[in-house]
Amino acid sequence: MVRAVTTQRKALNTAIAWTVGLLIFFPILWTILTSFKTEAQAIADPPIFLFFDWTLENYAVVQERSNYMRFLWNSVFIAGGSTILGVIIAVPAAWSMAFVPSKRTKDILLWMLSTKMLPAVGVLYPIYLIFIKLGILDSRIGLTVVLMLINLPIIVWMLYTYFKEIPGEILEAARMDGASLRNEILYVLTPMAIPGIASTLLLNFILAWNEAFWTLNLTAAQAAPLTAFIASYSSPEGLFFAKLSAASTMAIAPILILGWFSQKQLVRGLTFGAVK
Amino acid sequence: MGRIQLKQVQKKFGDVEVIPPLDLEIDDGEFVVFVGPSGCGKSTLLRLIAGLEDATAGHIEIDGDDATMLPPAKRGLAMVFQSYALYPHMSVRKNIAFPMRMAKIPQDEQNRRIEAAAKALNLTDYLDRRPGQLSGGQRQRVAIGRAIVREPAAFLFDEPLSNLDAALRVGMRMEISELHKKLATTMVYVTHDQVEAMTMADKIVVLQAGVIEQVGSPLELYRAPRNLFVAGFIGSPKMNLIDGPEAAKHNAQTIGIRPEHIDVSTTEGAWQGTVGVAEHLGSDTFIHIHGIPGCDPMTVRAGGEVLVNHGDTVYLTPRAEQIHRFDAQGLRIG
Interface test with A, best of B13, B62, B79, B140 (most A CBs within 10 A): B79
Domain count, chain B: 2
- Residues of chain B in contact with residue A170, where contact means CB-CB under 8 angstroms, are 85-88
- Residues of chain B in contact with residue A175, where contact means CB-CB under 8 angstroms, are 51-52, 71-73
> CB–CB of B95/A196 below 8 Å?
no
CA of A80 to nearest chain B CA: how many angstroms apart? Answer: 27
Q: Domain limits of chain A?
A: 66-232
- Same domain, residue pair B204 and B267: no
- Same domain, residue pair B162 and B218: yes
Average pLDDT, integer, range A208-226: 83
The ipTM, to two decimals, is 0.85
CA of B85 to nearest chain A CA: how many angstroms apart? Answer: 5
Average pLDDT, integer, range A173-198: 89
The phi, psi pair for A46, rounded to 5°, reads -65, 155
Helices (H), chain B: 42-50, 92-102, 107-120, 136-148, 166-183, 194-200, 218-223, 228-233, 245-248
- Same domain, residue pair B22 and B118: yes
Where is the domain boundary, B182, B209, B230? B230
C-alpha A106: how far from chain center:
26
Q: Taking CB atoms and an 8 Å limit, are B79 and A173 in contact across chains?
A: yes
Per-residue pLDDT at A2: 57
Mean pLDDT, chain A, rounded, equals 85
CA of B89 to nearest chain A CA: how many angstroms apart? Answer: 7
Per-residue pLDDT at B164: 85
CATH topology for the A66-232 domain: MetI-like fold (1.10.3720)
- Same domain, residue pair B114 and B258: no
B150 to chain A: nearest residue by CA? A177
Per-residue pLDDT at A3: 64
At A270, the pLDDT band (50, 70, 90 cuts) reads low
Q: Residue A177 is nearest to which of B83, B89, B102, comparing CB atoms? A: B102
Q: Residue B73 is nearest to which of A169, A180, A188, comparing CB atoms? A: A180
Per-residue pLDDT at B108: 95
B71–chain A Cβ distance below 8 A for any pair: yes
Of all residues in chain A, the percent with pLDDT exceeding 70 is: 92
Where is the domain boundary, B230, B250, B282? B230
Sign of the CA dihedral with B157 first, then B162, B164, and B165 last: positive
| CATH code where residue B95 lies | 3.40.50.300
Amino acid at B138: Q
A194 to chain B: nearest residue by CA? B89
Per-residue pLDDT at A275: 37
- Same domain, residue pair B153 and B254: no
B99 to chain A: nearest residue by CA? A177
Q: Taking CB atoms and an 8 Å limit, are B87 and A183 in contact across chains?
A: no
- Which residues are CB-contacts of B177 (< 8 A; sequence separation ≥ 6)? B31, B199, B200
Judge residue B41's burial from the number of C-beta atoms within 10 Å of its C-beta, 0-12 exposed, 13-18 middle, 19 or more buried.
buried
A163-167, A223-227, B54-58, B261-265: least confidently modelled range: A223-227
Q: Taking CB atoms and an 8 Å limit, are A178 and B71 in contact across chains?
A: no
Q: How do residues B102-127 score in pLDDT, each as one tens digit? A: 999 999 999 999 999 999 888 999 99
- Which residues are CB-contacts of B184 (< 8 A; sequence separation ≥ 6)? B29
3-state helix, strand, coil in chain B (%, to 5): 30, 35, 35
Average pLDDT, integer, range A209-225: 83
Where is the domain boundary, B186, B206, B230? B230
Per-residue pLDDT at B48: 95
Of all residues in chain B, the percent with pLDDT exceeding 70 is: 100
At A8, the pLDDT band (50, 70, 90 cuts) reads confident
- Quick check: A23 pLDDT over 80? yes
A135-139, A153-157, B95-99, B201-205: least confidently modelled range: A135-139
Q: How do residues A111-127 score in pLDDT, each as one tens digit? A: 988 888 888 888 888 98
- Quick check: A237 pLDDT over 60? no
- Same domain, residue pair B210 and B311: no
In DSSP notation, A173-200 reads HHHHTT--HHHIIIIIIHHHTHHHHHHH
At A4, the pLDDT band (50, 70, 90 cuts) reads low
- Quick check: A276 pLDDT over 70? no
- Residues of chain A in contact with residue B51, where contact means CB-CB under 8 angstroms, are 175
Q: How do residues B32-81 score in pLDDT, each as one tens digit? A: 999 999 989 999 999 999 999 999 999 999 999 999 999 998 899 999 99
In DSSP notation, A196-257 reads HHHHHHHHHHHHHHH--HHHHHS-SSSS--HHHHHHTTSGGG---HHHHHHHHHHHHHHHHH
- Same domain, residue pair B205 and B285: no
CA of A179 to nearest chain B CA: how many angstroms apart? Answer: 6
Judge residue B16's burial from the number of C-beta atoms within 10 Å of its C-beta, 0-12 exposed, 13-18 middle, 19 or more buried.
exposed
A106-110, A225-229, B28-32: least confidently modelled range: A225-229
Helix (H) or strand (E) holding B25: strand B16-26
Per-residue pLDDT at A261: 83
Q: How do residues B238-279 score in pLDDT, each as one tens digit? A: 999 999 888 999 999 999 999 999 999 889 999 999 999 999
Helix (H) or strand (E) holding A260: helix A241-261
Per-residue pLDDT at A53: 79
Average pLDDT, integer, range A154-182: 90
| CATH code where residue B271 lies | 2.40.50.140
A188 to chain B: nearest residue by CA? B87
- Same domain, residue pair B245 and B148: no
Per-residue pLDDT at B200: 94
- Same domain, residue pair B195 and B137: yes
- Same domain, residue pair B213 and B318: no
- Same domain, residue pair B242 and B171: no
- Residues of chain B in contact with residue A197, where contact means CB-CB under 8 angstroms, are none
Mean pLDDT, chain B, rounded, equals 92
CA of B73 to nearest chain A CA: how many angstroms apart? Answer: 4
Of all residues in chain A, the percent with pLDDT exceeding 90 is: 25
Domain that holds residue B157: 4-230
